[in-house]
């Protein structure tokens, strides 16, 4: 298990937008240098499982950007997200922070069921109906990350089992949001550091118990 929290906290929206992991156009923000192999143009964490915790202290929820956007992090809650990655953890997080996570409020520029674009230079097919563009202030970014753990020693087949253990432990404190998320009201966590330590221990024990070293 590796803790990559610091890297995610420091990555800016511009960094996520400009991050390019393809051989032909390699562009890695310096804060992420420790997570890639520049010689091979590859990620050091290419396949495995992760747990991601972020804290939304605002009075507005964070949504994804699917055709019918849904809440991923309710207002004033912690989000615990777990899952698998099989094409690099940075590619997985780039999808979240460059293409999906954003705030919506009652006066949001578009209807709740409308996906949006964050950047005017998004390229769409000539015959496509362009999605509306919103200002950068609506993007949540990754600075709210409190914990980001990855394990390349765990087979992605263990994703469901990991999720069941996380839900058993933390669902009583909040609500389960499909898919693979738990939102916990900030007021329900008395000791934030102990909360993060408990999640770290859970993930470490899960990895150790699989004897995959």
Quote the percentage of the chain above a pLDDT of 90.
71
Going by the DSSP 8-state scheme, the letter that residue 187 receives in this structure is G
Number of domains in the chain: 1
62, 73, 71: which is closest to 186 by C-alpha? 73
Q: How far apart are CA 129 and CA 47, in angstroms?
A: 35
Note the pLDDT of residue 131: 72
Range of the domain at 40: 2-209
Instruction: Please state the separation of Cα 49 from the chain's center in Å.
Output: 12
Ranges 136-140, 161-165, 201-205: which has the least confidence: 136-140
| Mean pLDDT over the full length of the chain | 90
Q: Residue range 182-205: average pLDDT? A: 98
Note the pLDDT of residue 129: 62
Ranges 65-69, 86-90, 157-161: which has the least confidence: 65-69
Reply yes or no on whether the pLDDT at 125 is more than 60. no
Reply yes or no on whether the pLDDT at 213 is more than 60. no
pLDDT in tens, 82-97: 999 999 999 999 999 9
Quote the percentage of the chain above a pLDDT of 70.
93
């Amino acid at each position: 298990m590796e803790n990559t929290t610091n890297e995610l906290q420091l990555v800016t929206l511009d960094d996520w937008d400009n991050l390019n992991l393809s051989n032909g156009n390699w562009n890695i923000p310096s804060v992420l240098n420790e997570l890639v192999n520049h010689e091979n143009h590859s990620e050091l964490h290419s396949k495995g499982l992760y747990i991601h915790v972020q804290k939304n202290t605002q009075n507005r929820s964070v949504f994804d950007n699917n055709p019918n956007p849904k809440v991923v992090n309710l207002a004033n809650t912690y989000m615990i997200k777990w899952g698998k990655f099989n094409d690099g953890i940075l590619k997985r997080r780039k999808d979240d922070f460059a293409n999906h996570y954003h705030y919506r409020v009652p006066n949001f520029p578009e209807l709740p069921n409308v996906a949006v674009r964050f950047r005017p230079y998004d390229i769409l097919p000539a015959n496509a109906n362009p999605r509306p563009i919103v200002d950068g202030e609506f993007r949540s970014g990754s600075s709210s990350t409190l914990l980001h753990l990855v394990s390349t020693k765990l087979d992605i087949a263990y994703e469901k089992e990991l999720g069941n253990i996380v839900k058993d432990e933390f669902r009583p404190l909040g609500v389960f949001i499909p898919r693979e998320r738990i939102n916990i009201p900030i007021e329900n966590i008395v000791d934030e550091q102990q909360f993060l330590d408990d999640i770290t221990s859970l993930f470490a024990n899960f990895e150790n118990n699989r004897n995959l070293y």
